[in-house]
Amino acid sequence: MNTFVPYGLAFALLTLAGCLGTETDDDEGFCDLDNEADCGAATEKSSSFILSQLQFDLEVGGSHELRISDGRSLKLRLLSKRPLLYEIDDFLSSDEADHVVAEAGRRGLVRSGTEGGGFAAGVRLMDADNDRILTIAEMRRTLEHNFDAHFTEIDVRRMYDELRLDPNGDDVITPEELQQAMPDSKALGEYVRQVMQKNARLRGRNSENMFFFPDRETDGIIQSITDRVAQAMGLPGTLVEKSDMQIVHYGIGGHYNIHLDSAEAPPDRQIPCCTRFDGVKACRSCRWATLLFYLNDVIEGGETAFPVADDPSFDADIFHNEFRENLHVQCDSESVRLRVKPEKGKAVLWYNHLPTKEGEYPWFGAIDHNSRHGSCPVKQGEKWIANFWIKVTDDKNWDLSHQE
Ligand code: OGA
Ligand code: FE2
């Protein structure tokens, strides 16, 4: 096998859904598996509380008026059933939205990262059919898997030209061609890094972000938003305070390709849900629900796309094999079933997991694969959002009671 790639690359038969978190970004980390309490290890359930979802007798397009105890009334409009997705106008006041943006700016944002591990470690070649040649589609997957680089077919051909990777132009890369063009395994990563630096559309995500942690916040407005979220969602404050509130800023061309907010448990390994990202070992990000707030009006573009909302025939492998994650290519396509227009103060609420069943372990339902979504590129203006992620661990008691 290694004769094919002499510098440590190996053609691997990889299942495409093999990676853990869908976001390899900076926002999630690891917990210490030696300290089970940190990782939300399962304990016996004592509370009868279940993670109930906001379900009303509604058809898509219908609304439900929700009164919450601060005297407000929130109108939830159902946008889809799978995922269970609501739009809520004026969840935040204009002043609150302005305050959150100003406070995020004051504390500082950093460029959002979703780089795969390929820049530092060896490159894994995605030879899905294990025939030891890379087709263009397999090369696209390789770039995506290793570098979170979303090349179109045209981009790949340009790369072949510039690196002289495919001199006979037959669109497949053989062992000899690879060895000839790239005697050093870092060459591919170097090229991809440079191209992505020049052309941000190729990145999985092009934005900057920062985090507020509600349970550690002293900012009165963030505290009152947190209370409102708990009330609106019918969840205990102790659980909602453990959320991460991520502020994201997109400039012109800024986007975030299609992804799931919550990470699926791998079939073959026990990986606990993360608590906070201050440990060192593997954990996965279990974001049971997402409340996304639009913090400004975008002049053009920047819609939140749910390409497979209420799509009964959705198939994750087909979706992936058709490269439908790429919103620079896909956003305006008819195949995107739902787009939400950013409007200042509006919230969208959806559940990344299916409803909890009685006695379920962990205590939340399986991932709802129809919750895939992303941000279309901003065409004019800029876009500010806040993601309020309701996080859970495998341990119900910990989730409901633990205080740091
Ligand atoms: C996210 C996300 C969508 C948007 O940040 O996880 O999906 O509209 N954002 O910005
Ligand atoms: Fe998201």
267-276 residue pLDDT tens: 888 888 988 7
Q: Does residue 189 have its Cβ closer than 6 Å to ligand 1? A: no
Which atom of ligand 1 has the smallest separation from the CA of 387? 5
Find, among 346, 228, 247, the residue nearest to 294 by Cα: 346
Nearest 5°: CA angle at 130, between 269 and 118? 60
Model confidence at 179, pLDDT cuts 50, 70, 90, reads confident
Minimal CA–CA distance to 143: which of 124, 164, 166?
124
Q: Which residues contact 319 (CB under 8 A, 6 or more apart)?
A: 307, 308, 325, 372
Q: What mean pLDDT do residues 134-145 have?
A: 94
Q: How far is Cα 33 from Cα 31, in angstroms, rounded to an integer? A: 6
Highest mean pLDDT among 41-45, 96-100, 240-244: 96-100
User: Cα 149–152–154 angle (5° rounding)?
Assistant: 125
Cis omega (within 30 of 0) for bond into 307: no
- CA dist 135 → 8, 126, 127, 140, 364 (Å): 20, 10, 8, 9, 40
10 Å CB burial of residue 116 (0-12, 13-18, 19+) is buried
May I ask the CATH architecture of the domain 44-113+204-399?
Answer: Sandwich (2.60)
Q: Cα separation of 61 and 30, whole Å?
A: 40
Question: Distance of alpha carbon 217 from its chain centroid, rounded?
Answer: 24
Q: How far is the CA of 304 from the centre of ligand 1 (A)?
A: 7
Kindly give the number of the ligand 1 atom that is closest to the alpha carbon of 23. Answer: 6
44-113+204-399: same fold as 9-21+115-202?
A: no
Q: Distance from the CA of 259 to the center of ligand 2, in angstroms?
A: 6
- Residue 340, pLDDT > 80, answer yes
Return d(Cα 274, Cα 31) in angstroms, integer: 6
Q: Distance between CA atoms of 18 and 31, rounded to whole angstroms?
A: 21
Please identify, by atom number, the ligand 1 atom nearest to the C-alpha of residue 302: 8
Residues 148-166 have pLDDT tens digits of 999 999 999 999 999 999 9
For residue 77, what pLDDT is reported?
98
Ligand 2 mean position, distance from CA 388 (Å): 10
Q: What's the 121 CA to ligand 1 centre distance in angstroms? A: 28
Ligand nearest to the CA of 207: 1
Residue ranges of domains in the chain = 9-21+115-202, 44-113+204-399
The bound ligand whose nearest atom lies closest to the alpha carbon of 343 is 1
385 lines ligand 1 (CB under 6 A): yes
pLDDT range class, residue 386, cuts 50, 70, 90: very high
CATH architecture of 9-21+115-202: Orthogonal Bundle (1.10)
Residue 375 near ligand 1, beta carbon < 6 Å: yes
- 40 φψ region: left (φ > 0), alpha (ψ -120 to 50), beta (else): left
Q: Which residue spans within 23-140 are E strands per DSSP? A: 63-67, 73-80, 85-88, 110-111, 124-126
Q: What is the model's pTM?
A: 0.87
Indicate if ligand 1 lies below 6 Å from the C-beta of 258: no
Mean pLDDT over the full length of the chain? 86
**pLDDT band at 261, cuts 50/70/90?**
very high
Task: Report percent pLDDT > 70 for the chain.
Answer: 84
Nearest in space to 386 (alpha carbons), one of 282, 311, 304, 292: 292
User: What is the model's pLDDT at position 311?
Assistant: 98
In short, whether 371's Cβ falls inside 6 Å of ligand 1 is no
Containing H/E element for 144?
helix 136-147
In whole angstroms, give the CA distance from residue 115 to residue 148: 5
Residue 345 has pLDDT above 70, yes or no: yes
Determine the residue type at 77: R
Which residues fall within 8 angstroms of residue 57, CB to CB, at 6 or more apart?
Answer: none
pLDDT at 184: 80
| The dihedral sign for the CA sequence 59, 60, 64, 69 | positive
d(CA 74, CA 92): 10
